[in-house]
Structure formats: structure tokens, C-alpha cells
Amino acid sequence: MSSELPDSAVSPPTGAGESTSGPSRRVVIATGVVVGGVVVAGGTFLADAEEAAAEGAAPSSRVSLTVNGTRRTVTVDNRTSLLDLLREHLDLTGSKKGCNAGACGACTVLVDGQRVNSCLTLAVRLEGAEVTTIEGLADGDELHPLQQAFVDEDAFQCGYCTPGQIMSGVGCIQEGHTSSPEEIREYMSGNVCRCGCYVKIVRAVEQTAARK
């Protein structure tokens, strides 16, 4: 009977100078690849961070404009909207940020007498412009006629859209688009009232235009 063992049971020969107690060559190579990959990845991450830091802050510009009769000069990020300039830099929070996409009219203000959605208007494009917000309508304690009409007609509920509604109504009256309730509704259609006070809003605009 043969005493030879099958090949699978025979231990592979130990090479000259290799120790069976230390890590194998395969383990050493694998460890080196992993560590090297971490070093490379870390180097790439650091390079990206340094590149981002080198780019610095976003471009900014100085803009001078008249807001509610007062000349204001501010330095803003070139991407700043007129709405954010008013609310965050000038602390005029009457103009509301509703949709921030020009669809609801809550941010409506007058620029050189014309209605604009301030959320879609870049502040840096308004050098020398005259801006009127809801804070600039009243004369001291005396409300603007349309503001008073909104109170008299109870033309608001939650009040969130009211500043934009009033500013749009003032613009609508100045533009002469108040010959009928239908025309007022058409030219005020960009202002959304989530409480549904449209009938009273139109009535307030109509009565103010009639007294003008």
C-alpha cells in the first residue's frame, strides 16, 4: 500500500529566506494597494478643497438705488435678488417671499413706477433706480388710499399676500387698467390670494381708482 499523500494535502515548499510566521507576499501587496489608494484619494480631496478655497467668494458689486425716497448703497453678491436685498440687507421685510419663482406676486414692488416681481429681479441691474415697497406707501400715520381701502373692504385674511396685492393694485391704478372689474382682475391676475379674497381686493382697487 502506497504511503504517498495526495497533492492537495502536501504543504507548498517554503522559499529560501521566507518565514512562515510573517505575512505572506500577497497580504503585503494587497495592504500596499489599499494604503496607496487612501493616500491618493486623500490627496485628491485636499487638492479639491485647496482649489475651492483659491476660487474665493462669489463676485460682488456695489449698487446705489433709492428705496422709499432714501438713497441706499450696498455691496451684494451679483446673484442677489431685489427681494433679498430688501429683506436681508435693508431690513424691509414687508415684501414677502412666497414662491420665489415669480408665480404668486407676494414680492411685488414698484421699480421706477412699474410693477416687478422682486424675487426675479437682480439687484445689481438697478443702479440708480427708484424702488417703492409697501413700507414706502403711507405718509407717516396716514395710510395710502389703497391701504385704507383694503382695511375698509376687509380685503385680506392671513395678510401674507397683502403687501404684494396692494403694490400691484397701486401699479394697476397708475397704469390706468381699472376701467372695469374684469380689467382689474386681468391686470391683477399675477397676484395669488390663497385665502380667496379676490372679490374684495378688486372692489378696493376699483373704489380707490374711482376716487383718484
Grid cell of 44 as nine digits: 485628491
> How far is it, in rounded angstroms, from Cα 110 to Cα 188?
14
pLDDT of 10-35, one tens digit each? 444 444 444 455 566 555 555 554 44
pLDDT band at 185 (very low <50, low <70, confident <90, very high): very high
| pLDDT of the residue at 34 | 47
Q: What does the pLDDT read at residue 212? A: 81
Q: What is residue 100's DSSP assignment? A: S
When the pLDDT of each residue in the chain is averaged and rounded to a whole number, the result is 85
CA atoms within 13 A on the CB side of 59: 4
pLDDT at 29: 55
β-strands 114-117, 130-132 pairing: unpaired
Q: Cell numbers of 27, please? A: 497580504
The pLDDT tens digits of the residues spanning 104-156 come to 999 999 999 999 999 999 999 999 999 999 999 999 999 999 999 999 999 99
Model confidence, pTM: 0.74
Higher-pLDDT residue of 119, 8: 119
